[in-house]
């Protein structure tokens, strides 16, 4: 489950803003701060790669692969 609402009220009751893969009732949970952090790491890595080559194009599949690398 993922909640992107960082201000009360919570989008998903019981999920905490800092949950980063926390298991709650058998489900992995991501809070808005964990999502935002991953988004920024992905964004910065994509920009870094784009500045290495003038002909590089990152489509959704490539950005998804970058995000998996950033997640670790």
Backbone angles phi, psi at 49, to 5 degrees: -65, -40
Q: Sorting pLDDT into bands at 50, 70 and 90, what band is 13?
A: confident
* pLDDT of the residue at 10: 79
* Tens digit of each residue's pLDDT (9 = 90 or more) over 22-71: 999 999 999 999 888 889 999 999 999 999 999 999 999 999 999 999 98
Boundaries of every domain in the chain: 20-71
pTM over 0.75: no
């Amino acid at each position: 489950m993922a909640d992107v609402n960082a201000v009360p009220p919570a989008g998903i009751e019981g999920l905490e803003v800092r949950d980063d893969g926390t298991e709650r009732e058998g489900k992995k949970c991501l809070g808005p701060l964990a999502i935002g952090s991953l988004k920024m790491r992905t964004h910065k890595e994509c920009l870094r790669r784009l500045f290495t080559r003038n002909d590089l194009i990152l489509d959704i599949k490539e950005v998804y692969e970058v995000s998996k690398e950033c997640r670790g």
